[in-house]
């Protein structure tokens, strides 16, 4: 097991011995803004391409509390801390200037960081030889936004949230429709340096919603951006920085070239993406067998990726009409019984989610590329959110669980990456 994962396991004792006290005066900002000197283009919701970007990562809801207002987004995020930033290279898209942009989510604007010359681009950093027509997204993390609350476990959340953002891009691209190809075999070191990130922000992954222009070879673009503050406050975490450095380069990757097939109707999918929220608690009502099989079908779809790691999905059936209760792995029985109470306990006693939901999922892996496998868990989680929403069901990600006790329950020794619950 990767040392970082082992070090950041929760147990019944650890969460009681090391409670997280939040220092509110150090609360980091969740928005990054480049200086006004950078040209910016507000997204126009009447424009199809701009809508594609908005449906990948935009702000969709406002919450008002006595201490202030905050906004929720297309993508879910552990603790609504939104550690990830989104950058995109746009090439040969109607109505858009070729360039590398930052998506300023608060302004709903694309900020031009670097205008592209015909023969240069980000492609070589992502392993592409030819120029790519369309969108090449880069996902980064500003880890202190998450470690402010989750301390050294925060790298897990940065990766899961990044996976959700990749999943949001994939879902938004389905509206076009266009396939999304994940890229982990990227030159993170050079990209981090060019974007002026220092050690506070770094790239985790890329996603291509683009096609190669076969006659057009491309050279690596070179530029040097000034550092732009992304969290306000900051406190260094040696553990997180070391874990990132050690996992920066991927090894022995297996490509997944099979494209997923989804049966979503475009209008309903768009509504599902726009209205997605995390359900705060379930009623304890059962779902139907048809709904269960629909979710299993979605889970069985491959994820296009240049570094595909095996992630196992365990499902605890708490209540599905006409189905025996128990633990399943990839749709097949592991053991019979009503484990709903136990599922609730394992998720740090979040009984209203993991006991009262109809299904509780646990995702595990023993893969070698930590950044790739963890983000894959986030993508799977996002596919579950979308599929559940599409069926009129609720979903919630669950990043907090007792790692070792989940292993004992599943009777496996893999790294436990993520839990989710779906229900009514
Ligand atoms: C990786 C991850 C872990 C999460 N863990 C929990 C959790 O343990 N308990 C919980 O109630 N919600 C959890 N959530 C849900 C978030 O609190 C929620 O996404 C956030 O507040 C934003 O709200 P929204 O999803 O409705 O937009 C998690 C979400 C993600 C993406």
- 166-220 residue pLDDT tens: 999 999 999 999 999 999 999 999 999 999 999 999 999 999 999 999 888 999 9
Task: With CA atoms as reference, report the closest residue to 276 among 84, 414, 415, 72.
Answer: 72
Query: Is-contact 157 146, C-beta < 8 A?
Result: yes
Show the tokens assigned to 273.
């993406």
Give the C-alpha separation, 103 to 97, whole Å: 14
Q: How many A from CA of 419 to the centre of ligand 1?
A: 11
Question: Which of 20, 75, 77 has most ligand 1 atoms within 8 Å of its beta carbon, as the pocket-test mutant?
Answer: 77
264 φ, ψ (degrees, to nearest 5): -75, 140
How many other CB atoms sit within 10 Å of the CB of residue 13?
A: 9
Confidence of residue 117 (pLDDT cuts 50, 70, 90): confident
* Confidence (pTM): 0.98
Tell me the mean pLDDT in the region 10-14.
93
* pLDDT given for residue 175 in this prediction: 98
* pLDDT given for residue 376 in this prediction: 98
Longest dimension (CA), the chain: 62
Task: With CA atoms as reference, report the closest residue to 409 among 344, 356, 350, 331.
Answer: 344
Ligand 1, pocket residues at CB < 6 Å: 72, 76-80, 157, 160-161, 164, 277-278, 350, 396-400
Query: Is-contact 181 208, C-beta < 8 A?
Result: yes
Burial 251-288 (b: 16+ CB within 10 A, else e): eebeebeeebebebeeeebbebbeebebbeebeeebbe
Task: Give the residue ranges of DSSP H helices in 36-153.
Answer: 48-57, 144-150
Give the C-alpha separation, 151 to 79, whole Å: 13
- The minimum-distance atom of ligand 1 relative to the CA of 73 is 27
Q: Domains of the chain by range and CATH?
A: 3-246 (3.40.109.10), 266-423 (3.40.109.10)
Q: How many A from CA of 73 to the centre of ligand 1?
A: 11
- The minimum-distance atom of ligand 1 relative to the CA of 418 is 1
Burial 379-397 (b: 16+ CB within 10 A, else e): bbbbbbbbbbbbbebbbbb
Tens of pLDDT along 33-79? 999 999 999 999 999 999 999 999 999 999 888 878 889 999 999 99
Question: Which of 277, 278, 353 has most ligand 1 atoms within 8 Å of its beta carbon, as the pocket-test mutant?
Answer: 278
Tens of pLDDT along 390-404? 999 999 999 999 999
């Amino acid at each position: 097991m990767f040392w970082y994962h082992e070090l950041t396991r929760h147990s019944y004792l650890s969460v009681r011995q090391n409670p997280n006290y939040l220092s509110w005066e150090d609360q980091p900002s969740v928005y990054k803004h480049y200086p006004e000197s950078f040209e910016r283009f507000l997204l126009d919701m009447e424009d199809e391409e701009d809508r594609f970007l908005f449906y990948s990562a935009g702000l969709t809801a406002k919450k008002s509390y006595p201490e202030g207002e905050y906004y929720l987004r297309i993508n879910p995020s552990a603790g609504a801390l939104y550690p990830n930033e989104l950058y995109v290279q746009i090439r040969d898209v109607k109505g858009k200037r070729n360039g590398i942009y930052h998506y300023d989510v608060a302004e709903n604007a694309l900020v031009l960081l670097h205008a592209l010359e015909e023969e240069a681009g980000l492609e070589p950093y992502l392993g592409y030889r030819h120029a790519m027509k369309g969108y090449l997204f880069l996902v980064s993390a500003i880890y202190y936004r998450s470690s402010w609350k989750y301390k050294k476990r925060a790298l897990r959340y940065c990766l899961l949230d990044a996976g959700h953002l990749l999943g949001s891009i994939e879902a938004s691209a389905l509206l076009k429709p266009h396939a999304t190809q994940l890229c982990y075999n990227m030159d993170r070191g050079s990209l981090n340096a060019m974007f002026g990130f220092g050690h506070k922000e770094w790239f985790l992954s890329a996603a291509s919603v683009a096609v190669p222009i076969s006659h057009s070879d491309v050279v690596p673009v070179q530029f040097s951006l000034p550092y732009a503050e992304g969290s306000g406050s900051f406190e260094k975490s040696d553990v997180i920085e070391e874990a990132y450095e050690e996992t920066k380069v991927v090894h022995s990757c297996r490509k997944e070239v099979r494209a997923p097939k989804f049966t979503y109707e475009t209008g309903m999918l768009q509504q599902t993406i726009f209205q997605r929220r995390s359900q705060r608690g379930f009623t304890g009502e059962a779902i139907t067998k048809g709904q269960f099989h629909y979710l299993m079908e979605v889970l069985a779809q491959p994820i296009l990726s240049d570094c595909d790691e095996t992630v196992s999905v365990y499902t605890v059936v708490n209540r599905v009409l006409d189905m025996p209760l128990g633990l399943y792995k990839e749709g097949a029985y592991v053991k019979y019984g009503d484990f709903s109470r136990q599922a609730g306990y394992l998720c740090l006693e979040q009984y209203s989610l993991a006991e009262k939901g109809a299904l509780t999922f646990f995702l595990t892996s023993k893969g070698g590329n930590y950044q790739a496998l963890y983000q894959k868990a986030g993508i799977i989680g996002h596919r579950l959110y979308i599929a559940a929403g599409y069926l009129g069901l609720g979903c919630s990600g669950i990043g907090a669980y007792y790692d070792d006790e989940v292993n004992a329950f599943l009777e496996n020794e893999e790294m436990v990456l993520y839990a989710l619950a779906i229900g009514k």
